[in-house]
Amino acid sequence: MKTNMWIVDNSENNVNSYPQLEEAASLLKKGEVVAFPTETVYGLGADATNDKAVKKIFEAKGRPSDNPLIVHIGNANQLDGLVKEVPLKAKKLIEAYWPGPLTLILKSKTGVSQGVTAGLSTVGVRMPSHPVALALLQKVNLPIAAPSANLSGRPSPTTAQHVYEDLQGRIAGIVDGGQTGVGLESTVLDCTCEPPLILRPGGVTKRQLEEVIGKVEVDQALLKEEEKPKSPGMKYTHYAPNAPLFIVSGTREFMRETIMKAQEDGKRVGVLSTEENHSFYPGDKVIVCGHREDQASIAASLYDSLRAFNQEDLDIIYSESFEREGLGEAIMNRLVKAAGHKIISEE
Ligand code: TXA
Ligand code: MG
């Protein structure tokens, strides 16, 4: 299959027109699969009301079919066609954070494609804030199911180039809107229970949710390896680079020693470092991922950094560790998954 590329200059500010999107929109309407930028990561979209189209997403990604998809809407009215009810707390969150990086799990209406819900009685819905995503969704005027546009198991794509690397020849097209903003996937919040439960930490933090609706809980399985997560997608291996990745928790002196020991054993060592510390580490390949004092900058480049290690021939990768505070919750959630829970602690 030929994969079309449409380049959309984000800075154009003609949000409502974007004539480059006509072809992408018409392919989506015809039941084809098209990747597009959102403010979190690139999504792989298909008409959520068309079973055959939804099936193509799973085929292109190699995604297990028991993992449900998030439905993206460009207009809040579309929610009525998808869900049975919108509880008051969900209404407040929609008011506060849509469009934006927040997915709400709500009771689904019968008729929502089984491929989308993976047979669950709930559906995840979000309205992205990226101007290109919104313009495309509004042009198509259908709910669009979209997981992250990577091959299953790989880091989510934050550039059109990442999507191309993974899915070229497997999908009808890619809308290139440049690098995404947040860089990590949306927060997934289950609103069918009380208090609402965070199934996946993301761009909207626990504190931001609690400011609007009061107490929110976090799925305990996110913190412990052995518990079964409530969100089907959270149980799969994710984001892992080719060489084994370890998170190093401790001082930068300890990190330096850990790197040097591996090198003495003849290993080629990759290092994921923040800007502040990189010159301190003697790694064979040191990749700089944001500033320690600016969590948003770490989130924005994390997946690109993890992908970049695969360009190198490495035996082992060590990553700095981060505070699980604010956006740090989502950063550490993804990093721990990428490392398969392998953590080396100084104490
Ligand atoms: O930021 C994002 O959310 C990106 C962009 C493209 O919007 N999308 C994304 O989709 O990350 P995906 O499929 O890679 O991750 C969806 C997550 C999975 O962990 C899935 O198990 C969970 O949401 N999920 C979806 N529907 C669910 C449901 N009804 N109940 C529980 N978890 C659900
Ligand atoms: Mg994903």
pLDDT tens-digit readout, 100-153: 999 999 999 987 888 999 999 999 999 999 999 999 999 999 999 999 999 998
152 lines ligand 1 (CB under 6 A): no
Residue 172 contacts residue 27 (beta carbons within 8 Å): yes
- The amino acid occupying position 58 is F
pLDDT tens-digit readout, 38-50: 999 999 999 999 9
3-state DSSP assignment of residue 347: coil
Find the 156 Cα to ligand 2 centroid distance in Å: 6
Which pLDDT score, from 0 to 100, does residue 310 have? Answer: 92
- The amino acid occupying position 15 is V
pTM (2 d.p.): 0.95
247 lines ligand 1 (CB under 6 A): no
In the numeric block, which tokens belong to residue 20? 């480059």
Residue 171 contacts residue 35 (beta carbons within 8 Å): yes
Find the 152 Cα to ligand 1 centroid distance in Å: 13
Which residue's CA lies nearest to atom 12 of ligand 1? Answer: 147
Task: List Cβ neighbours of 14 (8 Å cut-off, separation of 6 or more).
Answer: none
Tell me, rounded to whole angstroms, the distance of Cα 297 from its chain centroid: 15
When pLDDT is averaged across residues 166-183 and rounded to a whole number, the result is 97
Strand ranges, E, within the chain: 4-7, 34-36, 43-47, 70-72, 102-107, 122-126, 144-145, 173-176, 187-190, 197-200, 217-218, 245-249, 269-273, 285-288, 316-320, 343-345
Alpha-carbon span 161 to 203, nearest angstrom: 22
Please name which ligand lies nearest the alpha carbon of 69. 1
Which pLDDT score, from 0 to 100, does residue 233 have? Answer: 65
Which pLDDT score, from 0 to 100, does residue 225 have? Answer: 62
Find the 314 Cα to ligand 1 centroid distance in Å: 31
